[in-house]
Amino acid sequence: MTTILLVEDDMWFAAQQQRILAGAGYTVTHVSDAQAAVDQIEVADIHAIVLDVLLAYNTAFTLLHELQSYEETSKLPVVMYTTQAELLNMEALKSYGIQVVLDKTTMRPDDTVRALTRVGV
């Protein structure tokens, strides 16, 4: 079974994403901040990360820096979403393993599943 780590601090949005991802056949583990994500990655077999940019206590970039510092986590595919997608430089994000950025203001319910499929997960 393919396990997705969903890192989202908006509980309503996280519940919607969990339902959609589980409906597509993924096992979903949800955490709401970067430190909880690191903790979860240490104990679970995670195949990809779906990550909100703005999190409580810190941003996604805190987590991304941590992931890049370890060989085994630096290759995890990351699908990021944000309400500020137009402000992000996609070329710079690729060095963090981010392969797709979704705009939360325009995304459709199944866009996350399509993005994961596109990155081979």
CATH value at residue 90: 3.40.50.2300
Longest distance between any two alpha carbons in the chain, whole Å: 35
Residues of the chain with pLDDT under 50: none
Q: So what's the pLDDT on residue 55?
A: 75
The confidence score (pLDDT) of residue 83 equals 83
Are 81 and 52 in contact by the 8 Å Cβ rule? The answer is yes
Instruction: Please count the structural domains in the chain.
Output: 1
The reported pTM is 0.90
Distance CA(17)–CA(19), nearest Å, equals 5
Could you list the residue range(s) of the whole structural domain that residue 22 is in?
Answer: 3-118
The DSSP H or E segment spanning 3 is strand 3-7
Given this model, what pLDDT does residue 114 score?
Answer: 97
What pLDDT is recorded for position 21? 98
